[in-house]
Amino acid sequence: MKRNIVIATVAAAALVAGGTATAIAVTGDDEPTAAGRSSVQVKDDERVDAVENTTEAKAAKVTAADAIKAALADTSGTAVSAELDDEDGGLVWGVDILKGTTWHNVEVDPGTGKVLGSWVDKDDDGDDAAEDAADAARVNSALKGASTSAEDAARAGAAKGTVTSVDLDDDGTAGAWEVETTDSKGAEADWHVGLTGDKVTADRSDRHDDRDGKDDHDDRGDHDGHDDDSDDSDD
């Protein structure tokens, strides 16, 4: 879900002072590393399917809605997605924010709600500029007139379980927010929340079954509908 970025510069002085670190980033193949260290650490032996889901969901004291709120307080714009993710053993909320045609990624500590770092998703060589612009235009168009924000959708979805991700549904119509939840046994489920109102409906197109250690939802693309492995060729 999150846009792939690599850190180009990090404001180290801000970290030493305990403040927010801001960095400029370019698109790349690696996931971003949080500028600050998350207060929520996950042991290697706990990262197994349903056990991992339950452990991470319980460890995140800061909800998806509150993480989005914190990210927007740091970086203004429109929150398009939020995901609870593992960054080198530390959990972070990764929030994608669109401001005009510029994408920002903000990482929030799920234990404290503190912003660990923020980056601009910048394409230096221009290869993906047109694609990014089209993506931004699609999202801005889809959300024009919407009364339900990503934060609203996260709060609505919380009635169904612990929300671990929120994203603009990218099935081609972008008519709803897609919310992913984890229950007390680690089973995941997908829900739709309309762009107007707070009605939550089950997403029947993609079901989870992690109780037996299987997860058929591992290969989701990011919010612009691109699969990170799309460039791999078949053997």
CA end-to-end distance (rounded Å), the chain: 26
Q: What is the pLDDT of residue 36?
A: 73
Q: Does the model's pTM come out above 0.75?
A: no
Rounded mean pLDDT, 203-231: 45
Q: Is the per-residue pLDDT at 135 higher than 50? A: yes
For 171-206, write each residue's pLDDT tens digit.
655 589 999 999 988 899 999 999 998 899 998 765
CA-closest candidate to residue 168, choices 92, 97, 71, 85: 97
Q: What percent of the chain shows pLDDT beyond 90?
A: 43
